[in-house]
Amino acid sequence: MPIITISRQMGSLGEEVASALSSKLGWELLTRDLLMDRFFPEISAEQRSHLAESAKFYLSEYKDGKSFKDVLSDSLLQLAEKDSAILLGFGSQILLSDNSNAIHVRIIAPDALRLNRICKQFHLAEEAARELLASRDRKHKRFVSHVFGADSSSEELYHLVLNTGLLSVDECVAAILSTVKEHSLRSRITSETKKEGSRDHQKSLPVFKNPSEAEFARILDMYQIEWRYEPKTFPVEWDSEGNVTLAFSPDFYLTRFDTYLELTTMNQKYVNKKNRKLKKVRELYPGIHIKIVYKKDFLELAERLRGSAFPADEENADK
């Protein structure tokens, strides 16, 4: 299930972003305190205060030979399996770093602005606020570094790093929502036919192989039909050692219509090989919708759109 983890600096408005996101999506917002109660129901008041004081205490035993860290890891992974949720802090970005359904977000703000916000929020003088901020930052850094051996400020851990010195809470929420939407789509494309052996390359740079593909992409844009360029490869033949010897990478995937399109600019007589490949893809990857756009059809479509055949026939020119 989709999960959003939010790591934040103190005074960055990270809680506000998480809470606004939770109400927009209708997903539960799981804070450190809620997770503590849920994951460690048998914790004593003394243990709780030890954990709050020293990150190293997470490495000590909670019960049945398992440390607090072990229980935290297991419980978070289980939670991510069955629920959509927003996780605030608690090293969740590191524990779920390999989870392809998780989006990791870090909310930051310039130090001066954080200081200013802390002064106002807690009615503190600047010096006291500075100390509070420094101590919280230190404590957080120590928790992540001692428990997980990681640096929470490392940008590589996150899909998005958002600066509330430059963005409003609403803008942060909008950025996260649109990332979640796109990411879920990519995850769906990746996971479909994965077990049959399809290969995903959505993260590689899309480069059109010829002008026809670029023109076809423009036609799809015209009709507001959402597409992805060559998102996947479907191996269809292997040698005796299991190496792929023949594969098919359809040019376009129409996300809303769940259809792959292969554009061919070759003459009809050279298309037979492609048709055979297509037949194999359909056999090996059942349930997949692939269509070939033949040169003749493509040229006709482009011609109708340019209106050269029927200049006055605009409304009919696109079919």
Partner 1 sequence: MKEISYKKILFTEEQLQNRVKELGETLAHDYEGQDLLLLGVLKGSLFFLTDLARATKMPVMVDMIGISSIPDTTRATGIVRITKDVDIDITGKHVIVVEDIIRTGLTTAYLLQTLETRKPASLEVCTLLYNPDRQLIDLPVKYYGFEVDRSWLIGYGMDNGEIGRNLPFIAEIEHH
Instruction: Judge contact between 247 and 233, C-beta under 8 A.
Output: yes
Does 319 bind partner 1 (CB under 8 A)? Our answer is yes
β-pair partners for 229: 252
User: Shortest gap between Cβ of 208 and partner 1 (angstroms)?
Assistant: 14
160 binds partner 1 (CB under 8 A): no
Q: Which residues pair with 28 in a beta bridge?
A: 85
Of the pair 148, 227, the CB lying nearest partner 1 is at 227
| Residues that contact partner 1, how many (by CB under 8 A) | 34
With contacts defined by CB under 8 A, name the span among 187-195, 266-274, 279-287, 298-306 that binds partner 1. Answer: 298-306
Told to check if 310 binds partner 1 by CB under 8 A, we report: yes
Backbone φ, ψ for residue 31 (5° rounding): -90, 170
Q: Are 7 and 84 in contact (CB under 8 A)?
A: no
- Classify residue 285 by its DSSP letter: S
With CB under 8 A as the contact rule, which of the stretches 41-49, 100-108, 172-180, 218-226 interacts with partner 1? 218-226
In DSSP terms, 234 is beta-bridged to 248
218, 273, 276, 279: residue in contact with partner 1 (rule CB under 8 A): 218
Question: Which residue from 45, 98, 205, 224 is in contact with partner 1, where contact means CB under 8 A?
Answer: 224
Candidate ranges 19-27, 41-49, 67-75, 251-259; the one touching partner 1 (CB under 8 A)? 251-259
**226 vs 232: CA distance, rounded Å:** 16
Piece in contact with partner 1 (CB under 8 A), picked from 37-45, 87-95, 130-138, 296-304: 296-304
Phi, psi of 281 (to 5 degrees): -60, -45
When asked if residue 210 is in the footprint of partner 1 (CB under 8 A), the reply is: no
Q: How far apart (Å, rounded) are the C-alpha atoms in residues 1 and 101?
A: 6
- H-helix or E-strand containing 246? strand 244-248
289 touching partner 1, by CB under 8 A? yes
Q: Alpha carbon of 95 to those of 90, 103, 152, 175: distances in Å?
A: 9, 12, 12, 23
Q: In the complex, which residues of this chain contact partner 1 (CB under 8 A)?
A: 215, 218-220, 222-225, 254, 256-257, 259, 261, 289, 291, 293, 297, 300-302, 305-307, 309-319
